[in-house]
Amino acid sequence: MDPVIGEEQVSGKKEVLRILKLVEGQLGDKTFFGGDNLGIVDITLIPFYSRFYTWETFGKFSIEEECPNLVAWAKRCSQKESVVKSLPDPIKMYEFILYLNKHLAK
């Protein structure tokens, strides 16, 4: 299923990017949100990394191009064994969203 870009999707894409850039601005040049160590803010936000693939696919954009520091942060977090074990697979997340769209659109 190829996601179709309509007015609602364009608006959603803009809002997602606005929020991601806001979050990236709070990160700044720090390794993690609290500084040099993984902290509560990182743990709270890292689950959204599993949604990046879905957002990029539906919105036809690259989060890494738009928010490179945020993606670099997510990759650093994912190097922690405790983090990577707790995150859902991005492809499975995307497939689940497709499934929901198909079955809820009826």
Reported as a single tens digit per residue, the pLDDT across 7-19 is: 888 898 999 999 9
Which pLDDT belongs to residue 3?
Answer: 53
Which pLDDT belongs to residue 5?
Answer: 58
Residue 36: burial class (beta carbons within 10 Å; 0-12, 13-18, 19+): exposed
Q: How far is CA 76 from CA 58, 68, 79, 89, 98, in A?
A: 25, 12, 5, 17, 28
32: left (phi over 0), alpha (psi -120 to 50) or beta: beta
Tell whether 50 is covered by a domain.
yes
CATH label of the domain that carries residue 48:
1.20.1050.10
Tell whether 1 is covered by a domain.
no
In tens, the pLDDT along 47-88 reads 999 999 999 999 999 999 999 999 999 999 999 999 999 999
Predicted confidence (pLDDT) at residue 1 exceeds the cutoff of 60: no
Count of domains observed in the chain: 1
Determine the structural domain holding residue 97 and report its residue range.
Answer: 7-104
Tell whether 2 is covered by a domain.
no
- Identify any residues that bridge with 35 across adjacent strands, giving them in sequence order: 32
